[in-house]
Structures are given as C-alpha cells and as structure tokens.
Structure 1
C-alpha cells in the first residue's frame, strides 16, 4: 500500500533519469490488427492502411504500443508544464494588480528539486506589470457584405476575437475581495445616489441596487465608493482610491467594456482631480467604441435603452469639455449629430427634468467650443478690431443661454436650488474666460491699439465683474457653501482661477481698468475665510482644501507696494507701474512636480500633490495671462 502511494506521488519521476525523451522500447508493434490476427506479414509502408487492408477494403488499425503510450504521455507532460507556467505568470500579474503579494507566496511541492528551473524571484524584485510584455489579441477578419455602399468603411470588417487574458470582473469586486463590507458599500452607494449623483444630472441614470452595480461593473462600484469616501472624509479613502486606479488600469486594454464602465470612469473624472484627464480620455474612447454617439437616432424614436445611452454620451461630452479648459487641451468630443440634436432630445419620449439641466450644460460647452475654434490659443497676440464683435456675439449667446435655463430650471428634491444657481456660476465662469481675452498680448507691441482701446477696457471690466461675482457667490450664499463638499472639482478650479485672476488684475495686469485694490483684498480675504471654514471637516485630499490653503498663502504674498506712495482705496492701477516682484506668481514648481499643466491658468499649477501654491520659486519669468478656451 505504501509502495503504491509512493509510486503515484511522482508520476513523471521515472522519466527524469532518461532526460527529455521517454525510454526506448525494443519490441514495437508494427503490424495492424487484421494482419496480426491472420499471423501474416503486414506491409504498412508510410502508415495505415497497409497494402493488404487497402486491397481488401478492410479497416486497418494499429493498437497503441507501450512506446506510443510513453511518447503521448511525455507530450502531454510538456504541454501541461507550459500551461502551468502561463497560469503562474498570469497569477503574478493579478497579484501585482490587486496588491496581494500573498498570492505569490505559494510554492509548488516537488519530490525532487529541478536544477534546470530558474529560482523564484521575490515578488518585490519582479518587473512591474507595466514593464511586462503585452500580448496582442489574435483575431481574424470576416468580410461583411450586409453593409450598404454608404456604410462606414470599417463596418465591412467584423473582427472575430480569439479570447485572450481579460480582467476577471468577479475578482475585481471590492466587496468580494474584502476591501469593504456589504454594509459599507451600501452606505457609500446611498450617499452617492441621494446626493452626489444629482450634482451631475444622474450619471447612473435609473436608480440602482448594490447588487445591480456589482453585477455590471466593478469599476463603477469602486468609483462610487471612492468618491463617497472622499466626501465623507472616511479613513478608507486612500485604499479605495488605489483600488479604483488599479481596476481602471486593468480595464484600459479590455475589449469588453460596457456603459457602466464608462459611468465608472466619469465618476472618477468629475471628482478625483489627480486622475481626471486620464479618466475622461479613457471614457471618451470607450464611449466611441461602444457607439454611444449613434444612439440618438433610436432615442428620438422612443427607445428607452438608447435614451439612457444618449444621456450618458452627453455626460461624456460635458466632462470632456470641463477638463479641456482645466488642462488647456482641445476637447476630444466634437459637435456631432448627438450634440446638434440636444434640443430634440429634450422633446423625446423619456426625457425628464434632469435632462434639461444636462442639455443646458451641452449648450454652454457648445459655445465654448466655438470660442476655442474661433480664437485659438495664442495669448501673445493682442486683440484687433475684427475680434471685438465676435467676442460680443459669443457673450450674447451666453446671455441667452443663462436667461433661458435660469427661468426653466426648478428646485431639485436632492440638491435644492443648485440647478439655477449652477447655471449662474457656469455662466460667469464662461464669461470670465471669454472676456479675459482683453488681456491677450499685454505688454506686447500693439496691445490696446487706439482703435480698440475702449473696447478692451469694456471687455476687461466685464471679466473682472464675472470673477468677483463668482467669489461673492461663494461668500454670500450659504446654500452654495453647503454644496462645496459635493460639487465636482471643476468648481474648485473655477474658484481658484477667479481668485488668482482678481489678484493679478488688481496688482499688476491692469490697464485703464478701475480696480479698488482694498476691496479686492478684502474680497479674497473673505473667500479664504469661508473656504477654510468649509474645508475644516473635509478630507485632506479634497482639492478645495488645497485651494483654500493656496489662496491664503497667495493673498499674504500680494501686498501692493507703490513706487510713489500708498495707493488710495480706489486706485487706478496701470500696466506701466508694476506693484510687486514678478516672482510672486510663479507657483508652478515644487519638489513633486505638477499633477498637470493647467494651460488656462498659464503656468499656475493648482493640482500638485503637495501644498498648492505653498512653494514660491524665485524665477524671473512671469506667467502669461491664461489663454482662452
């Protein structure tokens, strides 16, 4: 009994002493069954059937010899070892991605040590998954003749994907993996659906149960829990953040993404400032891959599933344009059929009140796209006479959008009067970046040429009015203050830029603009006070915490110094008399490097990983006035 168990403990051990090949068997079976039965010579030739069986039409088979069995067994062993190695490699990647080194600690038990096998490396010494080879998908193309002659070229080829290594969605579930309990995840989902989601016109669309979210997208579940933990100042935010990033990275090269994966990326993009641009870029790509932009046609015909897909595409469009401004990069989504049909979308069968808020944003950003395409990004070029009227026409468009939607939108059960007040804030920020073009080319030859001087003064004053209105809203409106721990990071950027803008204009970048320097300092001081109070209970990683701290530091540095004496409270600040050292504004560099280059804010870097605007460098280069969208 013991001998039998020992023999079965290592079924391949007998072969090892013979090297790679199985032992040779001297007696081999060479005759077929029919010839052996007749005990006559079997002329097999190149293989069955033999000459006799072929001539007589007999079935010609050869029993497996011991040699053939051994060779087959050795072949099976080789293939199995190859598959086990591939499985180990895949498990290593999963362990790295999930930050679970314990998965790598399992050692296979062999009866004998394999000298040819390379020693296992410690998990920490292995290459990062990013450095490992990416194996491309194998696929074949099936030519499809069902498409008409006017079809999109790529539609005539249907790729048949050979299954590769795809993320295991069940293994990505943060509840299954023990990151959160069901109760914790439910609490986070409740906060998100009862509050946060309504600031963004309901990214989820229809209300979901926890089971529904878990089933369709672990990425969406992780995004919701991460963002809710941030706004609850929960201790597990950091771990959830890393989980979300890991799952999002694993999904990047997947060919099996769905609409809820897009929703998960949007949740991350709107609220997680450090990875906003990365998330929205991936969301745009996924949205176009699953053809969200083509759902508008069936939406207008009353199809509810396509209605939900279309409103998701509008959210992708809005998010893309939010951060095209913040990052100063051209938007990836354009004025396509879906965007042009936004008014018709509101008249479709399934449209609701939140869709009106959604479309109001589409309208704002459509104008923003026109501004960007009309005026470009050259901030060194002063305005000329032929640019003034287009700027005014864009301003009129924004006025009309504000008037229409302020009147149409009503109080919301979840976020109060934010629908109307949000339009008010978006309007003034849109006006701010439109009218701040008045400062383009400041200090360059041709700036404020005689034929445009009065027009530029008018535009500049309008820009200051919008910036100060944003700040006064933050100071004076308790409801908006209550929403700051919930609004997407775009609003934090808006407040930061308005603060820096008024300080710049009131101390250096002003020309023929009446600015009450004392009032500006008092205004910014009140903003800092309010922000510090609001952020006192926020998670330290919330972007507004950095905005509050950085604005306070900047205000302390902005102490006007006159060359001839003190400024009166209603001083007429001019370009020819700078009031303090240029190095004050260079806040773009710190030891950690920028999180991103904020083009709209010139060289200002508000989203660094460390204290924003705390480290002022003595650099003689003064940052340029921010270019426009």
Structure 2
C-alpha cells in the first residue's frame, strides 16, 4: 500500500477489487432464501413482525442465525485456521506459555469458563478469537517485559470487528468474547454489548428450556440442544448466557448505565436451572452472582443513576428491604461455598467480598447530593444507621483484600469489576475523610494507613505495565499525598468561627455481628473513579474496629442488618419496592428532610 498525502495508506487496486468482490458476494447471499421452511399463507397471523417481513421478502439476514458448533472434537483435522500463530504475530512457544498460565490460574476465577480445554492446540482448533482473547488476558497478567500484550490486543480488536458482521456465530467465539468482557477494561463495555446481541441472535437463552423444560412449555429449544442425560450443550450455552448477564450487570454498576439484559425468565428462575443440574461448584458460583445482581438491578431501577439527586427519607423502607435481601443472600450462599481444589477458600471469600461491594453500593445512596456542611446540610437521622453500614463495608473490603491470603493471591487474576470495586472503596474512604469528616468523627490516620496498604499491594503484584493495578497504585499514591497535605494544612491553619462538633462513634458492636463478620472475609459496589473531586454517592468514615460495634448517640445500631425474614431475598418479588417508586417518579416526590 502507498502512503497518501494525509499520512495514511491507499489500498492497492487489487485489494480494492478483492474487497468489492466480497461485498458483492454478501449482497448476493442476502438475496438467497434461507434454508428454512417457507411459511404458508394459511398459518396463524400471531407471529413476530420480523417473521411477516421475512415471509414476504425471504431475505436471509432477517432470520435468526443457527448456532455453529466448532470444537476440538468436531473440527476437521485438515482444516487449518488462520490465527495469531500461523500469521506470525506471536511465537508458538509464547502462545503455549500464555494459554498454560491462563488455564492454570486465571480461568478458575471466571468459573472455569474454559475448563474443558487442557492445552493450546485444542483451543487453537476451536476458535481463533478464543485463542487470542486468552493470550491477551494472560499477557496482561504476565510480568515479563515484552510487547505480547499490545500485539495480542491489536489482533483481538481486529477479530472482534470481523465478528460483528460474521454470517454465523460460533459458540467458542462467544466464549472468547466473554473472557475479553470480564478482564479487558478498555473494551469490556463495547464487546459485551456486541456479544450479547449476537447471543440473542442465536437464541442462546432458549437452552434453558432444554434443562428446565417445565419452565417454558410454550418455548421449544433448538433440536440440537435437546440431549438426554445430561443436555451438555445446553448447559454450556446457559453458563455463557449467565456469564453475559453477570458481566452486563457489573458493567452497569460500574458505569451507571442501563444494562442490556433485563430480569427475564431465565434470570428469574436461575435457581431452577441450578436444581436441575448435578452438583457443580462452578454453577453454584455463577447462580449466586446472578441472584446478587438481580438485587442490584432492582436497586438501580428504584434509585436511578443520577448521583446528584438526594434520596428522600420516605425511601428508608426501600433501602431497609434491599439491605435485608443482601443479608439473606450472604448467609444463604456462604453455606453453599465449598473449598476449591485450585484456589482454596476463594469462593467463600469472594462471596463475602461481593456482599460488601453490594452493601456499600446500596447504603451509599444516602449520601447522594450531600454537602460537607454538617450545619446547613446534615445527614437525616433516619439514614444514619445506613450510612454506618456503608462505612463498615468500605473498611471490610480493604481489610479483606490485604489480610486474606486467598484474596491476595487472586488480586492479579481478578476481573475488571474486582479491581474497580477495590479502587472505589479506597477512594470512598479518602473522600469521607476529606469531604465528610465533619459529619462523623474520623480517625484520619487509620484510613490513610488502610489505603496505603492497598498501594503497597498494587506495587507488589507482578503484572504487565498496561494492567490497571499499576494505575490504581500510582493514582492512589498521588491522592494519598494530596490528602496528607490537605490535612496537614488544615491542622496548622487558622480557623474562622466555630464548627459544629462531629457526631461521635463508639466501638461497642461485638455481639450484633455474625461470626464471619469478625474475620477478614467480606466487600462494595459502585462506579470506580480516581478523581478526588468526582461525584458519586459516598458515606462518612467512622472510628471502629471490625470486631466491635457502633453506637450512634444513645441508639444501638446493627450495621450488618441481619434481619432476614422467611421470604428471603428472592421472596415477594421486587415489585413492592421498585414499581411504586421507580426512577421516573422521582420528580414527583417532595424531598422532605429532617
């Protein structure tokens, strides 16, 4: 290709002609009648609008595409895929090393999504996109100085672009996209949207009815998904579907955006899916996350994404209801966590961590729009116990990460959401000290010491320079220095006028906490940012020991809120606290504050 006057490259005539020929082939293929039964004019008119259009035009692109299965067992031996190895982008030895590292370590933290593969060759025969995604993630976590991550990442972007208009969807390509969504922060939002759209195109979710047939007698799964004892393909499809839901909801929490997938039948009946399968640690872990994120989805529907809008005190009942559901969730699912042969007690520690992620996210809503002026804008007393729950969870996150060996070992292999929530918890504590210290009595040095422990952990973890851990460590170090300077200046500077004394917090809470709360086992949820003056709902920092309690004035508080009733977190439906006060009704409410 020749460089043009603008510094770019002009395509050669041969390349242009080749591309035009392919475009013509696509157009010609579009005009072909898809290989499906043509509808009769006498059939029922109760059909989808797109079915009617297809019946009239017979355009192939209007039809849902069938799922293409290309695995190591079905691929033709003589068929050689073009991939990053055959094209010389990376050496075979590097690919084997990266795939081996991923399968040995990282894959366990994503519920064993690629556990059916044992080596690089089987992955290579199955999907070029899957191979590239795995190599990209492994290169990101590889501390060896090289350009492997940059070249793998560039190739992955190219393959994703091709996937958008690929005429057929391969299951293993979706698996590769799923891996990219969870780990690669710079493409997770875009790639997840593409992957979910194409998964819907092949009706991946209908695999559910092959596993739980009584759940949808009106919906029949594709014939190739119905296999007796057990429907293994349907299970693979549903695991991917649930992972896409998890990723979609987590990204929605991180960015404050509307998720692509909603609370459909496969999500509502996720425990029926689990009950229909043989006991599996991976499936238990997947479904416990789906159950948790259903609660988080209801939170978003209730309060919306505007972090500047104050939460009216009349929403106290809704907040308490969400908190009870979270408490039930953690007690229920911790009892199902078993020790993993490769990652130890990570499954139970992660459940505790996600509990705190969620609890911080829910409870921090009471600080939306709250100013730092405790006299002119005090936190309503009805929200004070909820604020303290947020504080407890924020501290628990940091303590869990730095004290628990299984979570420390998982730090390098953690998904994008994991690192974002840890960063969010640290910034939460720093902002509490800097902006909201007058609302509560704060042990400044204790908070700064906690954040410094996370900084040290980020520096100790071996990974590629591109990894977000490096940027979290550097960013927190800068913010910590700024906070220390601000506190030092404030301590030595002159003060004009008297300020209302901060509300005291005493350490007397030991017996209200469940047994696991006294140990380093639990974690928050919300958007992560490293800007000190960014805007999002946060809660104030308190002085307390995690093994003790909190007494606010003369009222004893139960920060963990273990008041789960018999209905449980899934009982009664979410309608009682989402339908009545949805985000669309906010403008009609009068913000009545104490």
TM-score normalised by the chain length of structure 1? 0.67
Residue-by-residue CA offset, 1:127-174 (whole Å, 9 max, x unaligned): 7999x9977743356753497655444345375549xxxxxx966411
Among 233, 250, 255, the alignment partner of 2:162 is 250
Q: What is aligned with 1:462?
A: 389
For the residues of structure 2 that align with 1:322 and 1:250, how far apart are their CA atoms?
Answer: 26
- Residue 359 (structure 1) shift: 0.3
Asked whether 1:199 is paired with 2:102, we answer no
Asked whether 1:554 is paired with 2:483, we answer no
Q: What is aligned with 2:563?
A: none
For the residues of structure 1 that align with 2:403 and 2:273, how far apart are their CA atoms?
Answer: 36
Q: What is aligned with 1:221?
A: 131
SS in 2 for 1:273: coil
Write the mapping of 1:376-415 to structure 2, written as runs, cut at 5 A. 376-415=304-343
For the residues of structure 2 that align with 1:500 and 1:526, how far apart are their CA atoms?
Answer: 13
CA pair 344-360 structure 1, distance change in 2 beyond 3 A: same
- Residue 237 (structure 1) shift: 1.8
Q: What is aligned with 1:166?
A: none
SS in 2 for 1:274: coil
Write the mapping of 1:294-309 to structure 2, written as runs, cut at 5 A. 294-301=206-213, 302-309=230-237
For the residues of structure 2 that align with 1:190 and 1:487, how far apart are their CA atoms?
Answer: 17
- Give the conservation status (yes or no) of the 8 Å contact 1:510–1:573: no
Write the mapping of 1:254-403 to structure 2, written as runs, cut at 5 A. 254-301=166-213, 302-350=230-278, 352-403=280-331
- Give the conservation status (yes or no) of the 8 Å contact 1:300–1:349: no
Among 35, 50, 59, the alignment partner of 1:154 is 50
For the residues of structure 2 that align with 1:173 and 1:564, how far apart are their CA atoms?
Answer: 63
For the residues of structure 1 that align with 2:317 and 2:43, how far apart are their CA atoms?
Answer: 47
Structure 1 stretch displaced more, 186-195 or 437-446: 437-446
- Give the conservation status (yes or no) of the 8 Å contact 2:356–2:397: yes
Q: What is aligned with 1:64?
A: none
For the residues of structure 2 that align with 1:471 and 1:435, how far apart are their CA atoms?
Answer: 17
Q: What is aligned with 1:84?
A: none
- Residue 218 (structure 1) shift: 0.7
- Residue 501 (structure 1) shift: 0.5
Q: What is aligned with 2:370?
A: 442
Residue-by-residue CA offset, 1:61-108 (whole Å, 9 max, x unaligned): xxxxxxxxxxxxxxxxxxxxxxxxxxxxxxxxxxxxxxxxxxx59xxx
Write the mapping of 1:489-500 to structure 2, written as runs, cut at 5 A. 489-500=416-427
Residue-by-residue CA offset, 1:583-607 (whole Å, 9 max, x unaligned): xxxxxxxxxxxxxxxx9548x4x5x
CA pair 406-149 structure 1, distance change in 2 beyond 3 A: farther
Among 153, 175, 178, the alignment partner of 2:88 is 178
CA pair 178-550 structure 1, distance change in 2 beyond 3 A: same
CA pair 370-173 structure 1, distance change in 2 beyond 3 A: same
CA pair 352-601 structure 1, distance change in 2 beyond 3 A: closer
Q: What is aligned with 1:484?
A: 411
- Residue 430 (structure 1) shift: 0.6
CA pair 184-526 structure 1, distance change in 2 beyond 3 A: closer
Rg larger for: 1
Write the mapping of 1:45-56 to structure 2, written as runs, cut at 5 A. none
- Residue 387 (structure 1) shift: 0.6
Residue-by-residue CA offset, 1:292-345 (whole Å, 9 max, x unaligned): 111100122552211110111000000111111222211111111111121011
Among 334, 338, 360, the alignment partner of 1:432 is 360
- Residue 265 (structure 1) shift: 1.0
SS in 2 for 1:179: coil
Structure 1 stretch displaced more, 222-231 or 187-196: 187-196
Among 619, 623, 627, the alignment partner of 2:534 is 623
CA pair 515-291 structure 1, distance change in 2 beyond 3 A: same
Among 512, 517, 539, the alignment partner of 2:444 is 517
Q: What is aligned with 2:548?
A: none
Relative contact order (alpha carbons < 8 A, sep ≥ 6): 1 or 2 greater? 2
CA pair 209-121 structure 1, distance change in 2 beyond 3 A: farther
CA pair 191-498 structure 1, distance change in 2 beyond 3 A: same
- Give the conservation status (yes or no) of the 8 Å contact 2:313–2:383: no
For the residues of structure 1 that align with 2:467 and 2:46, how far apart are their CA atoms?
Answer: 50
CA pair 601-312 structure 1, distance change in 2 beyond 3 A: closer
- Residue 212 (structure 1) shift: 3.4
- Residue 418 (structure 1) shift: 0.8
- Give the conservation status (yes or no) of the 8 Å contact 1:296–1:310: yes
For the residues of structure 1 that align with 2:323 and 2:376, how far apart are their CA atoms?
Answer: 20
- Residue 213 (structure 1) shift: 2.2
CA pair 572-517 structure 1, distance change in 2 beyond 3 A: farther
- Give the conservation status (yes or no) of the 8 Å contact 2:398–2:450: yes
- Give the conservation status (yes or no) of the 8 Å contact 1:457–1:512: no
SS in 2 for 1:262: helix
CA pair 208-533 structure 1, distance change in 2 beyond 3 A: closer
- Residue 420 (structure 1) shift: 0.5
Would you say how many aligned residue pairs link Structure 1 and Structure 2? 462
- Unaligned 5+ segments in structure 2 are 62-78, 214-229, 504-524, 540-582, 584-594
For the residues of structure 1 that align with 2:448 and 2:333, how far apart are their CA atoms?
Answer: 33
For the residues of structure 2 that align with 1:518 and 1:173, how far apart are their CA atoms?
Answer: 53
- Give the conservation status (yes or no) of the 8 Å contact 1:512–1:572: no
For the residues of structure 2 that align with 1:190 and 1:539, how far apart are their CA atoms?
Answer: 17
CA pair 356-448 structure 1, distance change in 2 beyond 3 A: farther
- Residue 454 (structure 1) shift: 1.6
Residue-by-residue CA offset, 1:538-575 (whole Å, 9 max, x unaligned): 211111111011111100000214378699xxx99869
Structure 1 stretch displaced more, 309-318 or 346-355: 346-355
CA pair 573-152 structure 1, distance change in 2 beyond 3 A: farther
TM-score normalised by the chain length of structure 2? 0.70
For the residues of structure 2 that align with 1:573 and 1:557, how far apart are their CA atoms?
Answer: 24
Among 350, 365, 370, the alignment partner of 1:422 is 350
- Unaligned 5+ segments in structure 1 are 1-103, 106-118, 163-168, 576-598, 607-612, 617-621
